[in-house]
Amino acid sequence: MRPTKIGKILGSATVWSGLTLAAFGADVRVIANPNVRASTLSTDELKSIFLETKTSLSDGSHVEPVVLRSGDVHHAFVSQFLGKTDAALETYYRTLVFTGRGLMPKALASDDEMVRYVAKTKGAVGYVSATAPVTGVKIVAIK
């Protein structure tokens, strides 16, 4: 059976979407306040921090997630590392708050705000674009 023209178009769109996401994912850096001792986190640890199922690391460091409000970097981070859409993450956080199991994380508007906040907030873990200046914070490798 030959693929239809629509099938070819949809197939191409799916491939293109995956390539775009991978490109955005490569442009995201995870940052932390210097008092967070870990310099490497697994993807599971990172996900646990941002889904608020973990508030401290195995080394005892307290951690607190910080998110961007919107944008390509936010979308790429949420998709790649949390496996959610922006809307699904917002719903997830609202459910945590409503059920008393968590709080809404601090949401910031830009890379600059993120770096400043993470630099001064003990335990803060956030993300920025790969080109953002990251003075005062540590870059965390994700394995």
| 63-41-117 Cα angle (round to 5) | 40
pLDDT band at 132; cut points 50, 70, 90: very high
Q: pTM for this structure?
A: 0.80
Identify the structural domains of the chain with CATH numbers, from first to last. 5-142 (3.40.190.10)
| 121-122-125 Cα angle (round to 5) | 75
What is the rounded CA–CA span in Å between residue 123 and residue 139? Answer: 13
Q: Is 102 in contact with 55 (CB distance < 8 Å)?
A: no
pLDDT (0 to 100) of residue 3: 43
pLDDT tens string 112-125 = 999 999 999 999 99
Q: Is 103 in contact with 97 (CB distance < 8 Å)?
A: yes
What is the rounded CA–CA span in Å between residue 8 and residue 93? Answer: 38
pLDDT tens string 58-103 = 888 899 999 999 999 999 999 999 999 999 999 999 999 999 999 9
